[in-house]
Amino acid sequence: MLVGGHVIRKDKARLRRRIAELTEAFPIIAERAGDKAAELSGGQRRIVEFARCLITEPQVILLDEPTLGLDPRASSLVFDSTQMMQRLGVTVLMVEQNVRFGLKLADHGLVMERGRVLLSDSSAALLQRPDMSAMFFGGGR
């Protein structure tokens, strides 16, 4: 996580505060602090990536396929972590193939195909659309 803090490293007090905030927000960081990244699960690695990005206090963060290659348990960790980012006041812009995952986190969603916007609405409205169900959820809800 300190690697992400290089931008604010000259302000040691600010860096320590931010590390404390993120460790409180993402307890796995403290629990696995002595472990090498290779020893972490896929979901735990994503959380460390998120914390490293958040250390500089960004207003917006882009997540590109955050659940790609993760099992359901790790995806759940990513879901919870993304909600934590939102609670920390960060705007999250996400590109996600797992439509239900993405829309459950989102306020608003866009469905795109080949760079063209097909649908744009609130996430709740998109989740209720019958054509979304046919396109992405196997026809059923």
Confidence of residue 1 (pLDDT cuts 50, 70, 90): very low
Are residue 66 and residue 91 in the same domain, yes or no?
yes
Are residue 132 and residue 75 in the same domain, yes or no?
no
Are residue 23 and residue 63 in the same domain, yes or no?
yes
- Identify the helix (H) or strand (E) that includes residue 49: helix 42-54
Write out the residue range of the structural domain in which residue 113 sits. 107-141
**Six-digit token pair at 106?**
């989102």
On the question of pLDDT at 3 being above 80, the answer is no
Kindly provide the b/e burial profile for residues 37-70, where b requires at least 16 CB atoms within 10 angstroms of the residue's own CB. Answer: eeeeebbbbbbbbbbbbbbeeeeebebeebbeeb
Are residue 90 and residue 114 in the same domain, yes or no?
no
25-38 pLDDT tens trace = 888 888 988 898 88
User: Which pTM value belongs to this model?
Assistant: 0.76
Are residue 88 and residue 117 in the same domain, yes or no?
no
Are residue 87 and residue 66 in the same domain, yes or no?
yes
pLDDT for position 53: 87
pLDDT for position 9: 61
Are residue 56 and residue 112 in the same domain, yes or no?
no
Confidence of residue 2 (pLDDT cuts 50, 70, 90): very low
59-117 pLDDT tens trace = 999 999 999 988 888 889 889 999 989 988 999 999 998 888 899 999 999 988 899 99
Query: CA gyration radius for the chain?
Result: 17
Work out the burial of residue 20: count CB atoms within 10 Å of its CB; fewer than 13 is exposed, 13-18 middle, 19 or more buried: exposed
Where residue 30 sits, what CATH number does that domain have?
Answer: 3.40.50.300
Are residue 127 and residue 58 in the same domain, yes or no?
no
Work out the burial of residue 134: count CB atoms within 10 Å of its CB; fewer than 13 is exposed, 13-18 middle, 19 or more buried: exposed
- Identify the helix (H) or strand (E) that includes residue 54: helix 42-54
Are residue 80 and residue 140 in the same domain, yes or no?
no
Is 93 strand, coil or helix? strand
Are residue 19 and residue 66 in the same domain, yes or no?
yes
Are residue 15 and residue 71 in the same domain, yes or no?
yes
pLDDT for position 26: 87
Instruction: Give how many domains the chain has, as a whole number.
Output: 2
Are residue 29 and residue 76 in the same domain, yes or no?
yes
